[in-house]
Amino acid sequence: MGTNLDLPSTKPYLIRAIHQWCTDNGFTPYLAVSVDARTRVPMEHVRDGQIVLNLDYEATGRLEIGNDVITFQARFGGVARDLLVPIGNVAAIYARENGGGMAFEPEPAGAVAEPEGSTAAPGRDGEPEPPRTPPPPAGRAKLQRVK
């Protein structure tokens, strides 16, 4: 008999469900992401180790919310960029208009195995990873609106 450790994560399913809820109700789905060496996002838009991304279908191209990574194309300053966000780096998904959504406990780097053939961006040469903030105390997660 298997343990709970053998079960696949519910996180990608919850992310897809909140994304669909936002879309169905005319809300703009925003994704709050903790950035590390596995994350491929425009680093010039990262603040305090995080970035907030618009996941609306009109703002993205080739959006795929998989079980291991979220990949899509988005424009920054008029330039199309390919983005890759490991599911473990998703801190929250919520509706821009009302903040409704879900926050997730931070997952330590390496907690989720890289998918085979992953094209995640390597860390910058000679630069250490930014310090990780300690996880919040146990209890109910709080969703903070990020602007």
Reported confidence tier of residue 108, pLDDT bands at 50, 70, 90: confident
- pLDDT of 131 above 90: no
Domain parsing of the chain, residue ranges: 8-103
Between CA 9 and CA 45 the distance in angstroms is 29
For residues 75-98, average pLDDT = 96
Using CA atoms, how far residue 55 sits from 69, 125, 131, in Å, is: 14, 30, 27
Superfamily of domain 8-103: SspB-like (2.30.30.220)
Question: Which pLDDT belongs to residue 117?
Answer: 39
- pLDDT of 137 above 60: no
Between CA 25 and CA 81 the distance in angstroms is 27
- pLDDT of 135 above 90: no
What's the mean per-residue pLDDT of the chain? 80
Between CA 32 and CA 102 the distance in angstroms is 10
Comparing 8 with 114, the larger pLDDT belongs to 8
Between CA 23 and CA 21 the distance in angstroms is 5
Residue whose C-alpha is closest to residue 22's, from 31, 32, 35: 31
Do 12 and 67 form a contact (C-beta atoms < 8 A)? yes
Between CA 135 and CA 119 the distance in angstroms is 27
Task: Answer whether 0.85 is exceeded by the pTM.
Answer: no
Comparing 29 with 119, the larger pLDDT belongs to 29
